[in-house]
């Protein structure tokens, strides 16, 4: 089995990578530079791919940033310090990001006759990001299949009905090296622990009786 994975370097996509390998997939990973505020996740994705000796490409979409508004992820707005709320989500949305990335990934998959494309959308994100919802996956799946008619590609989102805590639980069982991943929107030396993704990440570990390995007692 062969699959293309969108690998951000964060908790969810890294867990999905380990699950795919556990399931017997030969994985080709793609990481996107879309002019995000920092490159720490990209560096993490490179490290993880090198450790696992998988095919990995970083695709430069940074020229699109000027078209996609002033998201906090692009440095246009201040990163909110709170749990995910509707207002916080609006500040962190990069318009149509997943559809853009999945379109590129599907093209790559078709060109290399790889039959499946995976991304790690999950249930927590579905409440705030429309391109992480089951409805989006269900609509895009046939569109990708039709658009790749010569070598049809199937979209897979196996975490779409799972919470982040459930993903972390799976990752613990798969021995995912979460110390090599990154989530914080601010991208400083240590996680800020106050942005929405830091809070959600710590909660997911806590719900599994674990401490986020990026957070030590002094941070």
The 10s digit of each residue's pLDDT in 44-54 is: 999 999 999 99
For residues 140 and 63, the model is more confident at: 140
pTM of the predicted protein model: 0.94
pLDDT tens digits along 109-154: 999 999 999 999 999 888 778 899 999 999 999 999 999 989 999 9
Cα–Cα distance for residue pair 58/210, rounded to 1 Å: 31
Residue 187's pLDDT is 84
Cα–Cα distance for residue pair 166/162, rounded to 1 Å: 6
**Domain 2-206, CATH number (from 3.40.47.10, 3.40.50.2300, 3.10.300.10, 3.40.50.620):** 3.40.50.620
Cα–Cα distance for residue pair 178/173, rounded to 1 Å: 12
Strand order in the sheet with 2-6: 55-60, 26-33, 2-6, 116-118, 154-156
**Domain boundaries, given as residue ranges, for the chain:** 2-206
């Amino acid at each position: 089995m062969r699959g293309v994975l969108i690998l951000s370097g964060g908790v969810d996509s890294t867990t999905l990578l380990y699950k795919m390998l556990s399931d017997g997939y030969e994985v080709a990973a793609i990481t996107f530079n879309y002019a995000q505020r920092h490159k720490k996740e990209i560096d993490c994705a490179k490290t993880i791919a090198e450790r696992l000796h998988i095919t990995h490409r970083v695709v430069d979409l940074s020229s699109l940033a000027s078209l996609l508004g002033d998201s906090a992820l692009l440095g246009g707005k201040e990163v909110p310090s709170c749990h995910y709320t509707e207002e916080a989500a609006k500040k962190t949305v990069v318009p149509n990001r997943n559809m853009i990335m999945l379109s590129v990934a599907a093209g790559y998959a078709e060109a290399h006759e790889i039959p499946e494309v995976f991304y790690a959308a999950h249930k927590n994100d579905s409440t705030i990001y429309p391109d992480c919802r089951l409805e989006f996956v269900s609509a895009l799946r046939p569109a990708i299949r039709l658009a790749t008619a010569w070598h049809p590609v199937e979209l897979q989102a196996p975490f779409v009905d799972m919470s982040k805590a459930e993903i972390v639980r799976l990752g613990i069982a798969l021995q995912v090296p979460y110390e090599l991943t990154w989530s914080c929107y601010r991208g400083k030396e240590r996680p800020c622990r106050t942005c929405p993704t830091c809070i959600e990440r710590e909660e997911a570990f806590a719900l599994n009786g674990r401490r986020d390995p990026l957070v030590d007692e002094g941070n």
